[in-house]
Amino acid sequence: MSCNNCVDHSVYVTLHHEKLCKNCFIKYFERKVHKTMLKYKMIQKGEKIGVGLSGGKDSVSCLYLLKKFTGKQGNEIVAIAVDEGIHGYRDKTLVEAKAFCKEQKIPLEITSYKKEFGFTLDEYLRKHKVNPCGVCGVLRRYVLNKAARRLKVDKLATGHNLDDEAQSILMNQLKGNIGLSAKLGPITGVLMHDKFIPRLKPLYFMTEKETTIYSKVKGFHVSYNVCPNFGENFREQVGSNLNQLEMKFPGTKQGMVNSFLDILPELRKRFSKGQIGVCQECGEPASKKLCRVCSILQ
Residue type present at position 235: R
| pLDDT reading at 43 higher than 80 | yes
Confidence (pLDDT) at 71:
79
pLDDT in tens, 272-282: 877 788 889 88
| pLDDT reading at 182 higher than 70 | yes
Mean pLDDT along residues 96-118:
94
Give the whole-number percent of the chain exceeding pLDDT 90.
Answer: 69
Phi, psi of 155 (to 5 degrees): -145, 155
273 torsion bin: left (phi>0), alpha (psi -120 to 50), beta (else):
beta
Set out the domains of the chain in order of their start, with CATH numbers.
1-39 (no CATH), 45-297 (3.40.50.620)
Contact 202, 62 (CB under 8 A): yes
Confidence (pLDDT) at 7:
84
| pLDDT reading at 53 higher than 90 | yes
Average pLDDT of the chain is 92
Confidence (pLDDT) at 273:
79
pLDDT in tens, 184-199: 999 998 767 788 899 9
Length of the chain: 298
